[in-house]
Structure 1
Amino acid sequence: MGENKQDIDLMHTIQIKFPRLSKGQKLIAEYILKHYDKAAFMTAAKLGTSVGVSESTVVRFANELGFSGYPKLQKALHNLIKTKLTTVQRIELSNDFISQESALKSVLKSDMENIRATLEKINHKTFDNIVNSIFDAEKIYIIGLRSSTALSEFLGFYLSIILDNVKVISYGISDIFEQMINLTEKDFVFGIGFPRYAAKTIEALTFARSRGAKVAVLTDSLLSPLASKSDYTLIAQSNMASFVDSLVAPLSVINALIIAVGLREKDNISKTFNDLENIWKEYGVYSSKDKEEY
Structure 2
Amino acid sequence: MGVNDEVVRTVADLFLGARLTPTQRRIAHCLVEHAAKAAYLSAAEVAELAGVSQPSVTRFAMALGYEGYPALRRELRSLTGPQAAAPAEGNPMQLAVRAEAAHLERLHHDLARLDDVQRAAGLLVRSRPLPVLGLRAAAPLAGYFGYFAAKVHPDVRVLDSGGTQLLDRLDQARAAGAGAMLAVVLPRYPRESLDAVREARASGYAVVAITDSAVSPVAEAADVVLPAAVGTQLVFDLHTGPMAMAMVLLQAMCDAAPEPVQRRLEEFEATASRRHIFEA
Q: TM-score, normalised by structure 1?
A: 0.63
**Aligned ranges 1:55-70 → 2 under 5 Å:** 67-68=73-74
Mapped to 1, the partners of 2:119 and 2:193 lie a distance apart of 22
**Aligned ranges 1:95-174 → 2 under 5 Å:** 101-121=90-110, 124-171=114-161
Which amino acid in the other structure matches residue 67 of structure 1? R
Matching of residue 199 in structure 1 with residue 205 in structure 2 = no
Q: CA deviation at 1:64?
A: 7.4
C-alpha contact (below 8 Å) 2:127/2:180 kept by paired residues = yes
Note the residue ranges of structure 2 that are not aligned, 5 or more in a row: 1-14, 50-68
Give 3-state SS (helix, strand or coil) of 2:251's partner.
Answer: helix
Q: CA deviation at 1:70?
A: 5.9
Matching of residue 217 in structure 1 with residue 206 in structure 2 = no
Note the residue ranges of structure 1 that are not aligned, 5 or more in a row: 19-28, 33-62, 79-98, 289-294
C-alpha contact (below 8 Å) 2:186/2:212 kept by paired residues = yes
CA displacement, residues 123-151 of structure 1 (integer Å, 9 cap, x when unaligned): 52111111111233233211011121121
Higher deviation after alignment, 117-126 or 214-223: 117-126
Q: CA deviation at 1:165?
A: 2.7
Q: CA deviation at 1:73?
A: 9.7
| Alignment counterpart, residue 262 of structure 1, candidates 245, 248, 254 | 254
| Alignment counterpart, residue 6 of structure 1, candidates 2, 9, 27 | 27
Mapped to 1, the partners of 2:229 and 2:187 lie a distance apart of 11
Which amino acid in the other structure matches residue 68 of structure 1? R
Q: CA deviation at 1:152?
A: 0.9
Mapped to 1, the partners of 2:30 and 2:125 lie a distance apart of 39
Give 3-state SS (helix, strand or coil) of 1:161's partner.
Answer: coil
Give 3-state SS (helix, strand or coil) of 1:195's partner.
Answer: coil
CA displacement, residues 195-218 of structure 1 (integer Å, 9 cap, x when unaligned): 111111111101101101111111
Cα distance 1:254–1:145, how it changes in 2: closer, same or farther (>3 A)? Answer: same
Q: CA deviation at 1:104?
A: 4.7
Matching of residue 250 in structure 1 with residue 242 in structure 2 = yes
Identity %: 14
| Alignment counterpart, residue 284 of structure 1, candidates 267, 276, 280 | 276
Cα distance 1:64–1:260, how it changes in 2: closer, same or farther (>3 A)? Answer: closer
Cα distance 1:72–1:250, how it changes in 2: closer, same or farther (>3 A)? Answer: farther
Which amino acid in the other structure matches residue 98 of structure 2? K
Give 3-state SS (helix, strand or coil) of 2:186's partner.
Answer: coil
Mapped to 1, the partners of 2:203 and 2:27 lie a distance apart of 32
Which amino acid in the other structure matches residue 169 of structure 1? L
Q: TM-score, normalised by structure 2?
A: 0.66
Give the RMSD, CA atoms, in angstroms.
3.7
Mapped to 2, the partners of 1:4 and 1:174 lie a distance apart of 29
Cα distance 1:15–1:260, how it changes in 2: closer, same or farther (>3 A)? Answer: closer
CA displacement, residues 29-65 of structure 1 (integer Å, 9 cap, x when unaligned): 9xx9xxxxxxxxxxxxxxxxxxxxxxxxxxxxxx879
| Alignment counterpart, residue 177 of structure 1, candidates 167, 175, 183 | 167
- Determine the structure 2 residue equivalent to 1:96: none
Mapped to 1, the partners of 2:148 and 2:192 lie a distance apart of 24
Give 3-state SS (helix, strand or coil) of 1:233's partner.
Answer: strand
Cα distance 1:247–1:205, how it changes in 2: closer, same or farther (>3 A)? Answer: same
Higher RCO (CA < 8 A, seq sep 6+):
2
C-alpha contact (below 8 Å) 1:17/1:65 kept by paired residues = no
C-alpha contact (below 8 Å) 2:153/2:261 kept by paired residues = no
